[in-house]
Amino acid sequence: MKMLRTARHVLSALVFSATASLVVPVIFNVMPAAVAASVAGLPDFTEIVEKAGPAVVNIRTTQLAKAEVAVGQPNDEEMQEFLRRFFGVPQNGAKPPALVPKGAKPGGKTQPEEVPRGVGSGFIISADGYIMTNAHVVDGASEVYVKLTDKREFKAKVIGADSRTDVALLKIEGTNLPRLTMGDSDKIKAGEWVLAIGSPFDLENTVTSGIISAKARDTGDYLPLIQTDVAVNPGNSGGPLINMRGEVVGINSQIYSRSGGFMGISFAVPIDEAMRVSEQLKATGRVTRGRIGVQIGEVTKDVAESLGLPKAQGAQVERVEADGPAAKAGVQAGDIILKFNGAVIEKANDLPRIVGNIKPGTRGVLTVWRKGASRDISMTITEMKADKPEKADEVPNSSAEPAKAAPVANALGLVVSDLPADKKKEVQGNSGVLVASVEGSAARAGLQVGDVIQQLNNTDVKDAKQFNAMVAKLDSKKMAAILVRRGESSQFVTLRPSN
């Protein structure tokens, strides 16, 4: 035991060679310099929390109870359970005694009252009381209450909320309030330390920390989000994501979870975009965005190669809205949008974000790829309207005229016919062929009877004879790109011809 205790304090060890009787001293540092430096360099958030904490607020919302329940005749399940627990259930099946509030008459109706709706977080961005939070924190609330760390509570006014970015701006009446400094979300880097302050599960001024996992995670929403591994839970929504300089770089907004709790992935709205939204909300109470009236999709590698594009980038135009800016300017289904006002479109989602930041009424220039060459198209941007539920595409009419030729599929697995007169009116340019039968690679790609094929490898399809002749000349070693219209949308589909 004495030897063991002594060994704990030994800073070196002796190693004996198996081939010699020499004793070779080998030094093992208990704590290498690199490790010591690493431990000493761990982030210390205390100073940041002391400065930023007072500007982070707890948000409590209420809403008016919508249901009016007849006094003395409770029909709410929770009320029924309350009555069963405290009054018992009569053996004869009769209803338990009715509870009639003081001053109410049996059979009358209760007045709507405020009931708790939810809790969230927010942070003060100006000394005169402007507060930023998530739109979903205040959505549907009849009243919003803000509580500071010094226990003062204010009734807040919702200046405006934008559901597309999940940003809301509130205002409380106060002066010389603590506020946070805004950072630059464009300059953040993956691996950078950040912390979150908020009210998870209504536990006020809770601090959690982690790193930025990705700076522009595309979740399919209107803007790319910051992904972190900071612990964010219900109630954290609307709180700040803060860097090591004490600056806000994001608003904690979403979590990825299968259980409802934190699972190591959380998302924040970049503060640069949030500030642009808040400035519009402050000025007008709403956010205006530009639009050009197209439905778009991603450009795959196969489509890019088939159309002669140097790489898979841009936004593929699947549908052009009638009488919209794009339609008036001459944009066509099948065009690949490569740039907007000189800004490169790497992914399809880049386009609505870039166009959305342009003031309606201004001119914009699209650079599109069409039939093997690029061209510029000028148009006037219009205002994006509020979201409306889209109608499901109708099933294409398969009762069109059958193909006159024998139903033998071509190398793409298609039997086609010339467009009937009623279909020509629907199709832009009156060109294309109608799919009458599908098999082989076309069936595996999802083509259906009633689809209209408008282009094959950058060439307009005029009629069935021309289309089949082009298919017969295709190289079976290369993918072919066909522009398919279904309903009101068009999309490129790549197929490999059979031998």
Q: Kindly report the three-state secondary structure assignment for every residue of 118-149.
A: EEEEEEECCCCCEEEECHHHHCCCCEEEEECC
We report the CATH number of the domain holding residue 300 as: 2.30.42.10
In angstroms, the CA 451 to CA 239 distance is 49
Domain boundary among 227, 259, 287: 287
- Total tally of structural domains belonging to the chain: 4
89 within domain boundaries = no
**Domain containing 124: what range?**
47-75+109-287
We report the CATH number of the domain holding residue 200 as: 2.40.10.120
Active site residue 463: no
Same domain flag for 7 and 125: no
> Highest mean pLDDT: which of 25-34, 116-125, 153-162?
153-162
Which of 136, 139, 431, 437 is flagged as catalytic? 136
Confidence (pLDDT) at 37: 46
User: Is 438 a residue whose pLDDT tops 90?
Assistant: no
Active site residue 166: yes
Same domain flag for 295 and 277: no
Same domain flag for 27 and 58: no
Same domain flag for 210 and 264: yes
Same domain flag for 329 and 184: no
Confidence of residue 424 (pLDDT cuts 50, 70, 90): confident
Which of 199, 237, 278, 441 is flagged as catalytic? 237
Confidence (pLDDT) at 45: 92
Overall average pLDDT of the 250-261 stretch? 79
| Identity of the residue numbered 497 | P
Same domain flag for 300 and 259: no
Domain boundary among 342, 364, 383: 383
Same domain flag for 196 and 279: yes
Same domain flag for 270 and 200: yes
User: Is 499 a residue whose pLDDT tops 70?
Assistant: no
In angstroms, the CA 104 to CA 327 distance is 63
Active site residue 393: no
Which of 162, 166, 418, 451 is flagged as catalytic? 166
Q: Annotated binding residue at 235?
A: yes
438 within domain boundaries = yes
Confidence of residue 487 (pLDDT cuts 50, 70, 90): confident
Q: Annotated binding residue at 236?
A: yes
Same domain flag for 140 and 266: yes
405 within domain boundaries = no
42 within domain boundaries = no
Same domain flag for 179 and 312: no
Residue, of 403 and 31, whose pLDDT is higher = 31
394 within domain boundaries = no
Same domain flag for 60 and 198: yes
Q: Is residue 358 a contact partner of residue 364, using CB atoms and an 8 Å limit?
A: yes
In angstroms, the CA 299 to CA 447 distance is 18
Q: With the CA atoms of 367, 371, 372 and 378 taken in that order, what torsion angle do they form, in degrees rounded to the nearest 10?
A: -10
Same domain flag for 320 and 422: no
Q: Annotated binding residue at 237?
A: yes
Q: Annotated binding residue at 136?
A: yes
